[in-house]
A and B are shown apart, each in its own frame.
Chain A
Amino acid sequence: MTIKIAVIQFPGANCDLDAVHVLNDVIGVETSLVWHNYFKEADFDGVVLPGGFSFGDYLRAGIIAAHSPALDEARVMLKDGRPIIGICNGFQILIEAEFLPGALLQNESLKFICKWVNIKVINNKTAFTHKMKQNEVLAIPIAHGEGRYFTDNLKELEENDQVVFRYSTETGNYESAANPNGSLDNIAGICNLEQNCIGLMPHPERASEAILSPKGTEHGRLFFDSMVEFIKRRIR
C-alpha cells in the first residue's frame, strides 16, 4: 500500500508548495496539495498544515482557518491516531482549533523574525520525532511574527511530556539569547497527549536540504522520515 500525505492549502498559506516539494522530491513520499474546502481525511495517511498567513492572519493568526471544514476532517485523523503536523501558521491553526493547548502571542520584540535558530529535542517519542535523539540539537529556521508560546498550565504540559522542542544554543543551553521570540520556558514545539499531533514554529521543510542550510545540515528530514516510518508501523 502506498502512503499518501496531504498538504492543506488554506487561503493565504505560503509554505504549502515548499512542503509538497520536500515530501515529494526529497523524502519521496506521495504527497498532494489539497485546497482546504476539498480535503477528505479518508484519502490520506497523514497531514501537514503548512506555514503562511491563512486569511492574512487577520484578527489573530490561525483563528479563521481553524473554522475551515478541513479541520473537521483533520479532527477525525487526530482521534484515530494518524499523524498531523502544524508548521508555523499550521501550529497557530492547531492551537486555535484546540488540537493543541496554549496560545501563540506576538514576539517579544514586536517584530517579525526570520533567522536560523537551534532547538533541542525534549520528547523523541512522538510521531514526528522518534528518529531523533533525546537532547539532540537541530539547526532550523524560524520566520514568524506571532510565535511566543504561552500557557497557564506549564506544569501539566511538562508532566505529560507534551513539550517536544525548546529553543537552545548550539550546545544545548537555554540562555535567553537563544530564545528568539520570548516563548515561555523556551518552548518551540508541543504535541497532544497521544503524541500523534505536533505543532512547532520553526520550519522543517526549509531545513531538509543541505543546499539551503548554513552548515549543510538536513535536520528537517528527520520530521518527515519519522512521519513516514510512523505511518508504516501503524499500517502493519
Chain B
Amino acid sequence: MTKVNLSGEEVNVEMTKEEFEKVKELLNREPTITELGGFDIMWSEHCSYKSSRPKLKLFEDAEKDYDYVLAGPGQDAGVIDIGDGYALAFRIESHNHPSAIEPYHGAATGIGGIIRDILCMGVRPIALLDPLRFGHLEGNPHSQWLFKYVVKGIADYGNCTGIPTIGGEVEFDRSFENNCLVNVACIGLGTIEDFEHAPSRAYNPGDYVVLMGGSTGRDGIHGVTFASRTLTEMSEADRPAVQIGDPFTKKMIIEATLEAVKTGYVRGLKDLGGGGLTCATSELTGDGNTGAKIELRKVFTGEPGMTSYEIMLSESQERMAFIVKPEGLETVLDVFKKYEMTFAVIGKTDDSKVLKVYDGEELVVNIPAKALSESPTFRRAEKRPDYLDHLLAQKTPEPTINLEEVIKKLIASENICSKEWVYRQYDHEVGVRSVVKCGEGDSGVLRIIGTDKFISASVGVNSKHCYLDPYEGAKGGLVEICGNVIANGAKPMAMVNCCNFGNPEIPESFWYFSKSVEGMNDFCRKLRIPIVGGNVSFYNEDEVSKTAIKATPQIMIVGLIQGYENIITLPFKQSGNDILIIGETKAELGGSEYHSVIHKLEGGTPPSVDEEKILARWNFLYELYQNKLIKANHDVNKGGFIITVAEMCFKNKFGADIDLTGYNFNNLRDDELLFSETVGRFIIETSPKDFGKIVDLAKMFKVSVNKIGVVKSKPEISIRGLSQIVNLNINQMKQLYDSTIPNLMEI
C-alpha cells in the first residue's frame, strides 16, 4: 500500500510512487480518482504482468512459424486451425487466491472466468480441465475442506453450464497447505468464420458498445489488486472481494453471445473480468486503435448510489461487452431480448484514440486508450536457492520394507491413487463428444461431430520435480503432458501454460519462474510445439513461514487424432500379448513419490530431459501407430513403471508376468529401477507376432525398446529379475488404489 497525494488529498493505492508519477506524466496532469483506480488495477501484477513480462518475451513469436496458429500469446485465448473449417481455442489460468479463502465460490468463479475468455473468441466452450494443488489430506481437516469445496465449486459451475470437465490433475503436498492452487482450463470449438467475427478489439469507429449480462454491483471492487498481494497481508475487510458464481446466468450468456455472433453483426467482443468495464473498454479501443465515448449511467447497476469509480471498476461476474455494427444493432438486441438478458447500449466508438467516460455531464475518464496497457515493467533479481545443493545431494536410504509393501503403499498414496472421487462429480459426458472419458486414458479425447477428427487434451506438471530443478522440471512436464496425448494416439498441436510461483520480489522465488519459462521455451522450440498462451500467478507464498509453494508451471497440451481407428487407450486388451517399455530408466529418484511416501525425502536427483531421445520416441510411436502395431499405451508417470503396468491391468482385470532381467542395463538398485520417475517412457501392449517388426523399427529410429513381460488372464503381477520375487494381487491393488480418497473424504 502506498499513500499518494491527489488534488490535496491522501489516497491509498497499490501502485508505487514511481508508477504514480508515470501516470501523471502520461496524462500531463493529475488523474481523476476514477482514472487512478483504473491505472491502479490495470498496472497491478495480475493485469499487467509487470514482473513476468520481460521474461515472457522469450515466448514472443513462439507461435509465428506455424501456419495453423490463428491467435497466440497476448490474446484472450490461443486459437488453432484444426482443418475442415474448424477453429479450436484454449486457455488456462489461475484462481488461487480467491479459492484459498472461499473454495466453493472461488473455484466456481474461476470456471466462470475461463469460460468467458473462450467465449469472447466467438466459439462454444466444449471442455474444461482443472489441475489442482492442496496440502496433504491425511489428518488435515483444512485441506479436506478446501479439496471438497473446490471440487464441488468446479462441478456445480461446469455441470450447470453444460461444459464437460474432461480432465485434470491433483497433487497433495505440504507446500500448498496455506496456498492451494486452482487452475482452470477451457477449450472452445467453432468455425473459423465464428472466430473471425469476434476479435477482442474495436477497430471500427462508429460502432455501438453494448454491455450484456448480469448487473454491475459493488461486489469485487479491487479484486485484482487483492490477487496481487500475498494472503497474509490481507485484512478481513478485503475478504468480500470473493465473488458469488451464477452459472445459470453464465449459461444464458453463452447462448445469447453465440447466437449474437452468428448474426454477423458483432464486430468485437470482450469479457468483463479483472478491472471490469475500465479494462474491457480500454483494451477494446486500445488494441483496435480507436477511441470511445461511454455514458456511465446507462450501465445497469445492482444497487443504487454507485459512484463512477465503483461502476467502472466493479468486477461483478457474468458480463460481456459487445462492439456492434450500427446496421445490426436491432438484430443483436433482439437476440438478447429472446434470452431475456439485461443489456444496455453504453457508448459508441470513434477515431479519437481516447477513452472518454461521462458521468452525466461530467467527464470522469479522459485517457489515451492505450495508456492503461503501458504499465512500467520490473526487472526482478533472481538467485538459485542455497538449499538446493543440499537437497540434490540427498541419497536414497536402503528400504526397510520389502518391494511388495512399497508398491502397495505407493498405489494407495494420495498422489498416485485413483481420482474417481473427483471426476464422478463432474459431468464429463455432456455435449456427446467424450470418446475417451475420465479414468480411461492418459488424456481426454473428444470427437468433432461431423468430421473424423478427434482432439485430445491433458494438463499437469510435477511440482516436486520442478522444486528440485525448475528448468528440467518444466521440460519434464512437457514431456509428460505431450506423452499423455501421444499415448492416446494424438499429435501435440499447441501448448498453453499457467505459471504458479511465489513472491517475485524474492530472488529465489523469481529464479524458479525464470528457469521454468526457459525450460518451456527451449523444449517447445526444439520439439516444434507452438506456445499460444499463458497466465502467471505470483505471490503464492506464506509470508509468516516465508515459504513459497513448490514451483508449478502448469502445462496444457491439445493434440489431434485423425480417424477413430487411430485412438489408443490404456487398458490391456488380450492375455498373451507382449508388454514393452519404450525408453530407458535412469537413477532419478529425486522428487519421486517413492522418496516422499517411503522415505519422507524431498531431494535426490530429479529427472532430466534429452530432447533428441524424446523426439525419436515420439516419431517411433507415430510409426507404430501408422502400422497398427499398438494395442494399448500408457505413459509412465508417478511411482514408476510398475504402477503404470498395474493401471493397465485394472479395467479388464488382467495380470502381467514381468521379467526385468534384460532391462536393468544401467545396473540400478531395485528401488531405483522400479520407482525412478524418468520422463518420456511408455508401456505398450503389442502382439507377439509383431515383435520382430517393432525391434527393427526401434533400431531404425534409434529408440530403446525392451520386452519386459506378457499380459496374462490371472489378475496378478509377478516380477522376476530383481533381488526378490514380487507378487501382487490386482484385485487387492485396485482396492487400495480406489479407496484412499473416499476413506479420507467420506467421514
On whether the beta carbons of A53 and B248 are closer than 8 Å, the reply is: yes
Contact of B339 among A11, A21, A55 (CB under 8 A): A11
Q: Which of A48-101 contact B (CB under 8 A)?
A: 51-53, 55-58
Q: Does B432 contact A (CB under 8 A)?
A: yes
Prevailing SS type, chain A contact patch: mixed
- Once the chains are docked, how many angstroms separate the CA of A60 from the CA of B262? 33
Contact of A15 among B152, B162, B248, B339 (CB under 8 A): B162
Given contacts A112-B159, A114-B429, contact A58 B248 (CB under 8 A): yes
Q: Does B161 contact A (CB under 8 A)?
A: yes
> In the assembled complex, how far is the CB of residue B560 from the closest CB belonging to chain A, in whole angstroms?
17
Selecting from A155-163, A169-177, A182-190, A203-211, the interface stretch reads A203-211
Q: Does A14 contact B (CB under 8 A)?
A: yes
On whether the beta carbons of B425 and A113 are closer than 8 Å, the reply is: yes
On whether the beta carbons of B429 and A12 are closer than 8 Å, the reply is: no
Nearest opposing residue in chain A for B431, CB measure: A18
Q: Does A133 contact B (CB under 8 A)?
A: no
- Once the chains are docked, how many angstroms separate the CA of A141 from the CA of B437? 12
Chain B count of residues within 8 A CB distance of the other chain: 33
- Once the chains are docked, how many angstroms separate the CA of A205 from the CA of B433? 12
On whether the beta carbons of B425 and A112 are closer than 8 Å, the reply is: yes
On whether the beta carbons of A55 and B435 are closer than 8 Å, the reply is: no
On whether the beta carbons of B430 and A143 are closer than 8 Å, the reply is: yes
- Once the chains are docked, how many angstroms separate the CA of A22 from the CA of B426? 22
On whether the beta carbons of B432 and A57 are closer than 8 Å, the reply is: no
Q: Does B424 contact A (CB under 8 A)?
A: yes
- Once the chains are docked, how many angstroms separate the CA of A67 from the CA of B747? 39
On whether the beta carbons of B432 and A206 are closer than 8 Å, the reply is: yes
> In the assembled complex, how far is the CB of residue A98 from the closest CB belonging to chain B, in whole angstroms?
24
- Once the chains are docked, how many angstroms separate the CA of A211 from the CA of B429? 12
Contact of A211 among B161, B251, B339, B447 (CB under 8 A): B447
On whether the beta carbons of B430 and A15 are closer than 8 Å, the reply is: yes
Q: Does A233 contact B (CB under 8 A)?
A: no
On whether the beta carbons of A14 and B430 are closer than 8 Å, the reply is: yes
Q: Does B665 contact A (CB under 8 A)?
A: no
> In the assembled complex, how far is the CB of residue B554 from the closest CB belonging to chain A, in whole angstroms?
24
On whether the beta carbons of A209 and B430 are closer than 8 Å, the reply is: no
Q: Does A212 contact B (CB under 8 A)?
A: yes
- Once the chains are docked, how many angstroms separate the CA of A141 from the CA of B251? 23
On whether the beta carbons of A12 and B430 are closer than 8 Å, the reply is: no
Q: Does B691 contact A (CB under 8 A)?
A: no
- Once the chains are docked, how many angstroms separate the CA of A51 from the CA of B252? 15
Chain B residues within 8 Å of A203, by CB: 429
Chain B residues within 8 Å of A53, by CB: 159-160, 162, 247-248, 251
Contact of B160 among A57, A205, A211 (CB under 8 A): A57
- Interface flags for A7-18 (1: CB within 8 Å of B; 0: not) read 000011111011
On whether the beta carbons of A115 and B424 are closer than 8 Å, the reply is: yes
On whether the beta carbons of B338 and A35 are closer than 8 Å, the reply is: yes
On whether the beta carbons of A56 and B247 are closer than 8 Å, the reply is: yes
Q: Does A232 contact B (CB under 8 A)?
A: no
Chain A residues within 8 Å of B522, by CB: none
Contact of A111 among B161, B251, B425, B437 (CB under 8 A): B425
On whether the beta carbons of B159 and A143 are closer than 8 Å, the reply is: yes
Nearest opposing residue in chain A for B248, CB measure: A56
On whether the beta carbons of B246 and A56 are closer than 8 Å, the reply is: yes
Chain B residues within 8 Å of A113, by CB: 424-425
Nearest opposing residue in chain A for B421, CB measure: A111
On whether the beta carbons of B424 and A11 are closer than 8 Å, the reply is: no
Chain A residues within 8 Å of B246, by CB: 56
Given contacts A14-B162, A211-B447, contact A112 B432 (CB under 8 A): no
On whether the beta carbons of B251 and A112 are closer than 8 Å, the reply is: no
Nearest opposing residue in chain A for B163, CB measure: A14
- Once the chains are docked, how many angstroms separate the CA of A35 from the CA of B337? 12
Chain A residues within 8 Å of B248, by CB: 11-12, 53, 55-58
- Once the chains are docked, how many angstroms separate the CA of A145 from the CA of B152? 11
> In the assembled complex, how far is the CB of residue B98 from the closest CB belonging to chain A, in whole angstroms?
21
> In the assembled complex, how far is the CB of residue B259 from the closest CB belonging to chain A, in whole angstroms?
10
- Once the chains are docked, how many angstroms separate the CA of A13 from the CA of B248? 10
Nearest opposing residue in chain A for B160, CB measure: A53
On whether the beta carbons of A21 and B155 are closer than 8 Å, the reply is: no
Chain B residues within 8 Å of A21, by CB: 432, 449
On whether the beta carbons of B425 and A211 are closer than 8 Å, the reply is: no
Chain B residues within 8 Å of A214, by CB: 437, 440
On whether the beta carbons of A212 and B251 are closer than 8 Å, the reply is: no
> In the assembled complex, how far is the CB of residue B86 from the closest CB belonging to chain A, in whole angstroms?
16
- Once the chains are docked, how many angstroms separate the CA of A113 from the CA of B424? 5
Chain B residues within 8 Å of A22, by CB: 432
Chain B residues within 8 Å of A58, by CB: 248
- Once the chains are docked, how many angstroms separate the CA of A198 from the CA of B447? 30
On whether the beta carbons of A14 and B161 are closer than 8 Å, the reply is: yes
Q: Does B66 contact A (CB under 8 A)?
A: no
Nearest opposing residue in chain A for B433, CB measure: A212
Contact of A143 among B427, B440, B447 (CB under 8 A): B427
- Interface flags for B247-265 (1: CB within 8 Å of A; 0: not) read 1110110000000000000
On whether the beta carbons of A211 and B155 are closer than 8 Å, the reply is: no
On whether the beta carbons of A18 and B160 are closer than 8 Å, the reply is: no
- Once the chains are docked, how many angstroms separate the CA of A115 from the CA of B426? 10
- Interface flags for A200-222 (1: CB within 8 Å of B; 0: not) read 00010110010110100000000
On whether the beta carbons of A18 and B430 are closer than 8 Å, the reply is: yes
Chain A residues within 8 Å of B430, by CB: 14-15, 18, 51, 143
Given contacts A21-B449, A143-B429, contact A111 B424 (CB under 8 A): yes
Q: Does B740 contact A (CB under 8 A)?
A: no
Q: Does B564 contact A (CB under 8 A)?
A: yes
> In the assembled complex, how far is the CB of residue B239 from the closest CB belonging to chain A, in whole angstroms?
25
Nearest opposing residue in chain B for A180, CB measure: B424
Nearest opposing residue in chain B for A209, CB measure: B432
Q: Which of B145-179 contact A (CB under 8 A)?
A: 152, 155-156, 159-162
Contact of A18 among B252, B425, B428, B432 (CB under 8 A): B432
- Once the chains are docked, how many angstroms separate the CA of A78 from the CA of B340? 28
Q: Which of B412-452 contact A (CB under 8 A)?
A: 423-432, 434-435, 437, 440, 447, 449
- Interface flags for A136-162 (1: CB within 8 Å of B; 0: not) read 000001010100000000000000000
Max chain B C-beta neighbours (<10 A), residue from A18, A55, A203, A209: A18
> In the assembled complex, how far is the CB of residue B207 from the closest CB belonging to chain A, in whole angstroms?
28
Q: Which of A27-53 contact B (CB under 8 A)?
A: 35, 51-53
On whether the beta carbons of A12 and B251 are closer than 8 Å, the reply is: yes
> In the assembled complex, how far is the CB of residue A118 from the closest CB belonging to chain B, in whole angstroms?
16
Chain B residues within 8 Å of A25, by CB: 449
- Once the chains are docked, how many angstroms separate the CA of A13 from the CA of B160? 9
On whether the beta carbons of A212 and B338 are closer than 8 Å, the reply is: no
- Once the chains are docked, how many angstroms separate the CA of A24 from the CA of B149? 39
Nearest opposing residue in chain A for B165, CB measure: A114
- Once the chains are docked, how many angstroms separate the CA of A100 from the CA of B662? 66
> In the assembled complex, how far is the CB of residue A178 from the closest CB belonging to chain B, in whole angstroms?
16
- Once the chains are docked, how many angstroms separate the CA of A145 from the CA of B434? 20
Nearest opposing residue in chain B for A55, CB measure: B248
- Once the chains are docked, how many angstroms separate the CA of A132 from the CA of B437? 27
- Once the chains are docked, how many angstroms separate the CA of A209 from the CA of B156? 27
Contact of A212 among B152, B249, B429 (CB under 8 A): B429
Nearest opposing residue in chain B for A141, CB measure: B429
> In the assembled complex, how far is the CB of residue B109 from the closest CB belonging to chain A, in whole angstroms?
15
Chain A residues within 8 Å of B249, by CB: 56
On whether the beta carbons of B252 and A112 are closer than 8 Å, the reply is: no
> In the assembled complex, how far is the CB of residue A200 from the closest CB belonging to chain B, in whole angstroms?
16
Contact residues of B with A, CB < 8 Å?
Answer: 152, 155-156, 159-162, 246-249, 251-252, 338-340, 423-432, 434-435, 437, 440, 447, 449, 564
| Shortest Cβ-Cβ A-B pairs, 5 listed | A14-B162, A56-B248, A53-B160, A143-B427, A18-B432
Additional A-B contacts beyond A18-B430, A211-B447, A212-B434 (6; CB < 8 A): A11-B251, A12-B248, A14-B161, A35-B338, A53-B251, A112-B425
Can you list 8 A-B contacts (CB < 8 A)?
A18-B430, A53-B159, A53-B247, A58-B248, A112-B155, A114-B429, A212-B435, A214-B440
Contact residues of A with B, CB < 8 Å?
Answer: 11-15, 17-18, 21-22, 25, 35, 51-53, 55-58, 111-115, 141, 143, 145, 203, 205-206, 209, 211-212, 214
